[in-house]
Amino acid sequence: MTDIDVAVIGAGPGGYVAAIRAGQQGLKTVLIEEGEIGGVCLNIGCIPSKAFIAAGKEFAAAEHGARKGLHFASGSVNMAELVAFKDGVVKKLTGGVSGLLKAAGVEVIKGRATVTGPTSIKVGSRTITAKNIIVATGSSTIEIPGFPFDEKRVLSSTGVLRLNEVPKNLVVIGGGVIGLELACAMNNLGCKQVTVIEMMDQLLPGMDLDMAKGLQKILERRGFTIQLQARAHGAKPSQTGVDVTYEVAGKSHTIKASHCLVSVGRRPNSRGIGLTEAGVKLDERGFIPTDAQGRSSVRTIFAIGDVTHGPMLAHKASKEGIVAAECAAGSKGAAKDWVTIPGVVYTDPEIATAGLTEAQAKAQGFTVKLGKFQVGALGKAMADGETDGFYKVIGDAKTDRLLGVHIMAPHASDLISEAVVALEMAATVADLGMAVHPHPTLSEGVMEAAEALHGKAIHAINRS
């Protein structure tokens, strides 16, 4: 194949989006994938985990219905049926993506791709020559010494989504996004004993400290045991459970659990596919440095998503895929010029962030001013019976420029988009506070937090 304009390697949310956009622009495009269309996100990551998380919240809501006068017969969780529901969602979405690729004129090639030069790829016995190559090979779960995955008792994030039972007690190695999301899901589904072992001095390392501390208090109130600055040593699985050993302040501990979930991060899938041989530079951790258009050190080879620097997020990969495809089509203006990439943690309650954390703002020399507002002060939250969490707005005291918004609340994943638009438009905190928000809603909390920064919140006592 020698008349290809764009060859995309990897069909995750970065790769398939890049391929569709390239096809939409009339470029002859091929998409190469050795696994399933949709990659990790659609098949074993973002989407299936959200099916579990949503089911857990529904089950927990039914359990707590008596507070609202709703009395249900004692319920149970059929994991086989839940897994079947999750698989059905995945099948529908991946089928939809396949239809979109076909409509855009993209040819999908099944197989493992090896880059053999700046414009050439080999897939099995087939050689493809393309004017531009977009590498979107994603990332893989990190397996740590002492915790080999058997996907029965010692689980990866993939294995936990295939369980045939709700864990009786669960140990989670790693207090990051994925580990806490799945821990909350299992807790809501009926696992009442959850222990989180985190090596750093806070949950969700790198996130705004107030958010991390707030979530820790909520989880501990629900019965979680949180061990910070703890080092995991090993897991010994048996037919009935697993013994997990860890160390805190020089003292060794052992926990007997039914299951152990290991979630300590992911590494880029950039090695062993011919990139360095083709001249592409990788950093010491295997990430591919790119410019504002997504080009690697080899001009005809772009890289997007988890193999590049920045947060490993599906929406980041998708946006980078659009930029790379448009650059390949000759656009002079396409670039990674966004102000912020929002982040979401689908815990219970959810956490969503956009812009700078308080620590980052101070480190950049801003004179920081904060506005906070409690979820529990909102009429909608009280009516819903979900009052945990708070809103935090960060502004520059000198100019009133909006620097960051951090939300811990039900549906924070939806609420944060208002903050993203405000940051992209260089809004002030006053702009956010003066915008009329509908009542009763959870979005009012953003407005109230912005007003609180100026000492003008209505539904809170303003403190100097």
> d(Cα 449, Cα 371) in Å, to the nearest integer?
5
Position 35: which residue type?
G
The DSSP call for residue 295 is B
Distance CA 324, CA 338 (A): 14
**H or E, element range at 86:** helix 79-103
CB atoms within 10 A of CB 239: 6
Pairwise CA distance, residues 452 & 457, whole Å: 4
* Ordered strands of the 350-355 beta sheet: 343-345, 350-355, 402-409, 390-396, 368-374
Supply the DSSP symbol for 115: E
What's the token pair of residue 185?
Answer: 């899901």
**Angle of CA points 145, 203, 41, to nearest 5°:** 70
Instruction: Please give the full DSSP string across 62-83, using - where no structure is assigned.
Output: HHTGGGGT---------HHHHH
- Provide the annotated active-site residues: 439
Contact by Cβ (8 Å): 255, 171: yes
User: d(Cα 148, Cα 152) in Å, to the nearest integer?
Assistant: 11
Pairing of strands 301-303, 126-135: parallel
Q: Is the dihedral of CA 165, 166, 168, 172 positive or negative?
A: positive
Contact 273, 115 (CB under 8 A): yes
Q: With b meaning 16 or more CB within 10 Å and e meaning fewer, what string describes 432-445?
A: bbeeebeeebbbbb
Q: Is the dihedral of CA 186, 267, 311, 228 positive or negative?
A: positive
Tokens of 317: 């990969």
**Which one, of 148, 147, 114, 118, lies nearest residue 130 by Cα?**
118
43 touches 94 (CB < 8 A): yes
Q: How far apart are CA 173 and CA 154, in angstroms?
A: 10
